[in-house]
């Protein structure tokens, strides 16, 4: 689904795009300077050169000033002040999950194009209000699920479509990641607080593993799951084991673990077909291997590109949607699938039963 900057209705009631001068540069404001902001900035500098960051907003003035100095932007400690005084057309919202709705609504009300980090919000009613505000604003709205642009994920989708492993039988997605304080550097890390995140590892980093399953196997129908809490400082779950059933009738395994221990090497993804198997190596560096009758030891199909290389294409897609009116690779409603899957996993952990994703 695409939200356009300005639209009129034709005689049939359909939305049409008003012609406008195509700007060559997108002026963007960073809203939030947490750990993910560095990935976004690196992505802009490497792949999205038409984006100019002109404002940086963070309640921590030192963080805002540091990023602003690096980018030649203007720092703010208040979103409202930035919206009133800043020079930008779009925002990149990188805030804790519980702040997504309020920030997005204020930006839409101000007529800004919005890139909002996943999840859209921790609850479905919040998502509905955000989507309605986007429709009313008529601006571009994108939810930043960067795995849609992860080079290894995209390549696997192409290889599967080529028939190289035959028909998919099943898959496994394993977000197994040794606890890393890089994501928990705040004095009071918000990711420890279930009320702020909406859960734990499943609703947060796990979404990057759920989206690829949907890209490869289609829409998810139902899940059955158990969760655990081995990382004691995190209120939400730090361990999830789930079976995922798709509308196609296929089944996959989804696992999420963030534990303060050392893990043995194991592929993060495994896609099994009637003619062979594809794996994506563990770790954020990636790499794809094909196993089939001719390559029983595994053939390297793609040199490691890795997770960090997903942010530049994501931001470039957002810029093209604003500057050229192109369709986003995935509309904002697509992100409801990861959220609904996470919420169904949580319900299943409570009920001990299969839970529908879209009911």
DSSP track, 219-264: -EEEEEEEEE--STT-SS-SEEEEEEEETTS-EEEEEEEEESS-PP
The answer to whether the beta carbons of residues 84 and 114 sit under 8 Å apart is no
Q: Distance between CA 213 and CA 255 in Å, rounded?
A: 12
Q: State whether the Cα torsion 343-32-149-89 is positive or negative.
A: positive
Mention every residue, 6+ apart, whose C-beta is less than 8 A from residue 285.
304, 306
| Unique residue bearing structure tokens 């986003």 | 328
Q: Distance between CA 210 and CA 220 in Å, rounded?
A: 9
Tell me the pTM: 0.91
Q: ∠341-345-351 over CA atoms, to 5°?
A: 140
Per-residue pLDDT of the chain (359 residues; tens, 9 = 90+): 344 333 333 333 323 333 334 579 999 999 999 999 999 999 999 999 999 999 999 999 999 999 999 999 999 999 999 999 999 999 999 999 999 999 999 999 999 999 999 999 999 999 999 999 999 999 999 999 999 999 999 999 999 999 999 999 999 999 998 877 665 666 678 999 999 999 999 999 999 999 999 999 999 999 999 999 999 999 999 999 999 999 999 999 999 999 888 888 889 999 999 999 999 987 777 899 999 999 999 999 989 898 999 999 999 999 999 999 999 999 999 999 999 999 999 999 999 999 999 98
Neighbours of 49 (CB within 10 A): 12
The answer to whether the beta carbons of residues 104 and 83 sit under 8 Å apart is no
């Amino acid at each position: 689904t695409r939200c356009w900057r300005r639209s009129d209705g034709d005689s049939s009631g359909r939305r049409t795009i008003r012609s406008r001068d195509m700007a060559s540069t997108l002026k963007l404001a960073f809203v939030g300077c947490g750990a993910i902001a560095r990935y976004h900035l690196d992505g802009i500098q490497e792949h999205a050169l038409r984006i100019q960051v002109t404002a940086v907003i963070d309640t921590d003035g030192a963080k805002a000033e540091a990023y602003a100095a690096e980018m030649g932007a203007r720092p703010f400690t208040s979103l409202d002040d930035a919206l009133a005084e800043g020079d930008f057309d779009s925002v990149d919202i990188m805030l804790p999950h519980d702040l997504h709705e309020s920030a997005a609504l204020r930006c839409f009300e101000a007529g800004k194009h919005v890139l909002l980090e996943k999840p859209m919000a921790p609850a479905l009613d919040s998502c509905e209000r955000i989507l309605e505000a986007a429709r009313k604003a008529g601006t571009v709205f994108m939810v930043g699920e960067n795995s849609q642009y992860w080079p290894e994920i995209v390549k696997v989708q192409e290889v599967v479509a080529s028939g190289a492993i035959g028909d998919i039988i099943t898959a496994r997605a394993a977000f197994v990641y040794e606890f890393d304080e890089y994501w928990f550097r705040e004095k009071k890390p918000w990711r420890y607080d279930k009320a702020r995140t909406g859960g734990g590892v499943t609703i947060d980093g796990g979404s990057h593993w759920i989206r690829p399953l949907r890209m490869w196997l289609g829409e998810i129908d139902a899940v059955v799951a158990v969760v655990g809490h081995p990382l004691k400082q995190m209120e939400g779950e730090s361990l999830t084991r789930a079976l995922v059933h798709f509308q196609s009738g296929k089944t996959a395994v989804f696992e999420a673990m963030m534990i303060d221990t050392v893990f043995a090497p194991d592929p993060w993804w495994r896609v099994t077909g009637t003619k062979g198997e594809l794996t994506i190596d563990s770790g954020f560096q990636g790499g794809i291997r094909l196993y089939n009758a001719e390559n029983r030891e595994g053939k390297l199909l793609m040199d490691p590109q890795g997770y960090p290389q997903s942010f530049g294409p994501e931001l470039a897609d957002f810029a093209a949607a604003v500057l050229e009116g192109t369709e986003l690779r995935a509309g904002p409603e697509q992100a409801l699938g990861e959220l609904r899957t996470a919420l169904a996993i949580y319900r299943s952990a409570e009920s001990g039963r299969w839970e529908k994703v879209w009911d």
